[in-house]
A = this chain, B = another copy of it.
Amino acid sequence: MQKLEMIYEGKAKKVYRTDSPDYYWVEYKDDATAFNGLKKGTIDNKGVVNNKLSAVFFKLLEEKGIATHFVKLINDREMVVKAVEIIKVEVVVRNIVAGSLAKRVGLPEGTLLPQTVLEYYYKDDALGDPLINTSHIAALNLATPEQMAVIKETSLKVNDILREFLAPANIDLIDFKLEFGLHKGEVILADEISPDTCRFWDKTTGEKLDKDRFRRDMGGVEDAYQEVLRRLTGE
Q: Is A39 an interface residue (CB 8 A)?
A: no
Complex interface: chain B residues within 8 A of A120 (CB) = 133
Which residues of A108-145 have CB atoms within 8 Å of chain B's CB atoms? 113-120, 122, 124, 126-127, 130-133, 135-136, 138-141
Would B105 and A118 count as touching, CB distance under 8 A?
Answer: no
| Interface size in chain A (residues, C-beta < 8 A) | 26
Would B135 and A117 count as touching, CB distance under 8 A?
Answer: yes
Q: Is A104 an interface residue (CB 8 A)?
A: yes
Would A113 and B132 count as touching, CB distance under 8 A?
Answer: no
Would A106 and B126 count as touching, CB distance under 8 A?
Answer: yes
- SS of A interface (majority): mixed
Partner of A141 from B114, B117, B118, B119 at Cβ < 8 Å: B114
Partner of A113 from B114, B124, B126, B139 at Cβ < 8 Å: B139
8 new A-B contacts at CB < 8 Å, known A104-B122, A105-B130, A115-B138 = A105-B122, A106-B126, A115-B135, A116-B135, A117-B135, A117-B136, A118-B135, A120-B133
Residues of A within 8 A of B (CB): 104-107, 113-120, 122, 124, 126-127, 130-133, 135-136, 138-141
